[in-house]
């Protein structure tokens, strides 16, 4: 059995800033600092706030861990930008230099301890003493960072987002929209093809089925029921349920551009609910706002922006695997 160590042997653990969002002034991502709360979505970021005089934000590269959550205790994320935290969010600072791949690996190692906690038993007092592997497997770096195609990892300054200059586009102008074809995943035999449903976890995949894929990969899936608007990029061949709309791009879409667009689509989900589903018909008439250039989406900017967050080599690996 691999050797184990405690979390506080690999990280300095702090209780974070413990800020209440109601007392803070919110702003936009271009001008603000990330506010990380006990969410399992959007890297834990629930708002962007103005810098607080006399209180330094935590530096980029730290890990945040949700300590108290009804269903998502120990949701762990690497933060690519400086940030503040809400109550019951711990900050983990590596005791030695770590690559992004190592940090992502340890996020997964921390989250596998989630079964130990529930609403009545929180992780506030025990995070520091959770067991994690003493060393990172060699394959982690290989999978996460696939250095061969672009050479050494490049450090980039995060680009700014000026949403005031974004342009509006019909989803149906950007994508061919198709509904999934299966109604009940329970009727499908187990196999090796991802089955995407109206879920907001695990990239929307709730089962692996013994069927030929309906889609080759390279599409975005968006639930129109259940977890409405939980958009995911599918890099592998897959099939989908009828509660999912598959967005097949009419333009060359890199994984980086796809993740950018997924984030924008998720921001539109508040317009829909159980009684007003975001079905394929409504989605075809829906618009999203994106960076534009000469009347067309600025694909180059979106791609470069995602790389500027430090995700470049990870996205390269995803593209090769997909």
| CATH number of the domain where residue 52 is located | 3.90.220.20
Q: Check: CB of residue 255 under 8 Å from CB of residue 279.
A: no
Q: Is the pLDDT of residue 14 over 50?
A: yes
Q: Is the pLDDT of residue 150 over 60?
A: no
Same domain, 167 and 278: yes
| Candidate ranges 221-235, 267-281, 300-314; pick with highest mean pLDDT | 221-235
Which of 111, 145, 179 is a domain's end point? 145
Q: What is the pLDDT of residue 185?
A: 67
CB count, 10 Å around CB of 97? 7
Residue 256 lies in a domain: yes
Q: What is the pLDDT of residue 1?
A: 43
Task: Answer with the residue of higher pLDDT: 184 or 143.
Answer: 184
Return the percentage of the chain with pLDDT > 70, whole number. 86
Same domain, 111 and 21: yes
Residues in the chain: 322
Angle between helices 255-266 and 312-321 (to 10 degrees): 100
Which of 145, 180, 199 is a domain's end point? 145
Q: Residue 58 has which token pair? A: 């935590």
From CA 79, how far away is CA 44, in angstroms rounded?
A: 9
Task: Answer with the residue of higher pLDDT: 216 or 73.
Answer: 216
From CA 234, how far away is CA 229, in angstroms rounded?
A: 15
Q: What is the pLDDT of residue 71?
A: 62
The torsion defined by the Cα of 296, 175, 208 and 254, in degrees rounded to 10, comes to -20
Same domain, 98 and 233: no
Give residue 88's domain range: 4-145
Residue 245 lies in a domain: yes
Task: Answer with the residue of higher pLDDT: 262 or 187.
Answer: 262
Q: What is the pLDDT of residue 240?
A: 94
Same domain, 42 and 141: yes
Q: What is the pLDDT of residue 149?
A: 36
Q: Is the pLDDT of residue 320 over 90?
A: no
Confidence of residue 92 (pLDDT cuts 50, 70, 90): very high
Residue 150 lies in a domain: no
Same domain, 83 and 111: yes
Confidence of residue 151 (pLDDT cuts 50, 70, 90): very low
From CA 299, how far away is CA 296, in angstroms rounded?
A: 9
Q: 205 has which bridge partners?
A: 196
Q: What is the pLDDT of residue 117?
A: 67
Number of domains into which the chain is organized: 2
Same domain, 127 and 221: no
Same domain, 136 and 167: no
Same domain, 70 and 212: no
Q: Is the pLDDT of residue 156 over 60?
A: no
Residue 43 lies in a domain: yes
Confidence of residue 259 (pLDDT cuts 50, 70, 90): very high
Q: What is the pLDDT of residue 152?
A: 36
Residue 77 lies in a domain: yes
From CA 167, how far away is CA 288, in angstroms rounded?
A: 8
pLDDT digits (tens, 9 = 90+) for 182-233: 877 677 888 889 999 998 888 899 889 998 899 999 999 999 888 888 999 9
From CA 273, how far away is CA 275, in angstroms rounded?
A: 6
The whole-number average pLDDT for the span 114-126 is 69
**Sheet with 175-179, edge to edge strand ranges:** 175-179, 244-249, 219-223, 232-234
Q: What is the pLDDT of residue 226?
A: 83
Chain centre to alpha carbon of residue 66: 15
Give the DSSP H or E segment for 258: helix 255-266
Residue 183 lies in a domain: yes
Among 40-44, 103-107, 112-116, 163-167, which is the least confidently predicted range? 112-116
Q: What is the DSSP string of 165-230?
A: GEEEEEHHHHEEEEE--BS-GGGSPEEEEEEE-S-SSGGGEEEEESS--SB-S-EEEEESSSSTT-
Same domain, 127 and 188: no
Q: Check: CB of residue 288 under 8 Å from CB of residue 169.
A: yes
Confidence of residue 144 (pLDDT cuts 50, 70, 90): low
From CA 65, how far away is CA 74, in angstroms rounded?
A: 5
Residue 18 lies in a domain: yes
Q: Check: CB of residue 28 under 8 Å from CB of residue 49.
A: no
Q: What is the DSSP string of 145-163?
A: H--TTT-SPPP-PPPP--G
Which of 145, 179, 209 is a domain's end point? 145
Same domain, 197 and 313: yes
Decide: helix, strand or coil at residue 257: helix
Average pLDDT, the chain: 84
Same domain, 178 and 242: yes
Q: What is the pLDDT of residue 122?
A: 65
């Amino acid at each position: 059995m691999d050797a184990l160590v405690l979390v506080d042997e690999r990280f300095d653990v702090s209780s974070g800033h413990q800020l209440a969002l109601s007392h803070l002034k919110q702003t936009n991502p271009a001008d603000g600092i990330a506010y990380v709360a006990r969410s399992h979505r959007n890297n834990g970021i629930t708002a962007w706030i103005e810098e607080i005089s006399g209180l330094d934000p935590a530096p980029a590269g730290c890990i945040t861990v949700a300590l108290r959550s009804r269903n998502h205790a120990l949701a762990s994320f690497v933060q690519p930008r400086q940030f503040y935290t809400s109550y019951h969010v711990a900050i983990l600072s590596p005791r030695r230099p770590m690559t992004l791949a190592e940090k992502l690996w340890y996020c997964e190692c921390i989250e596998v301890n989630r079964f130990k906690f529930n609403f009545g038993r929180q992780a506030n007092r025990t995070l520091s003493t959770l067991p994690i592997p003493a060393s990172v497997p060699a394959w982690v770096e290989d999978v996460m960072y696939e250095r061969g195609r672009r050479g050494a990892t490049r450090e980039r300054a995060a680009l700014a987002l000026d949403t005031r200059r974004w342009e509006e586009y019909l989803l149906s102008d950007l994508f061919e929209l198709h509904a999934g074809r299966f109604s009940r995943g329970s009727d499908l035999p187990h196999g090796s093809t991802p089955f995407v449903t109206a879920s907001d976890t695990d990239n929307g995949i709730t089962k692996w089925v013994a069927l030929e894929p309906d889609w080759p990969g390279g599409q975005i899936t968006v639930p129109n029921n259940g977890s409405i608007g939980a958009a995911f990029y599918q890099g592998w061949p897959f099939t989908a349920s009828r509660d999912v709309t598959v967005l097949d791009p009419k333009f060359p879409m890199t994984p980086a551009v796809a993740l950018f667009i997924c984030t924008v689509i998720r921001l539109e989900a508040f317009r829909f609910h159980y009684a007003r589903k975001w079905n394929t018909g409504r989605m075809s008439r829906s618009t999203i706002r994106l960076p534009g250039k000469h009347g067309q989406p600025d694909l180059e900017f979106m791609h470069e922006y995602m790389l500027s967050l430090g995700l470049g080599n990870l996205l390269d690996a995803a593209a090769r695997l997909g």
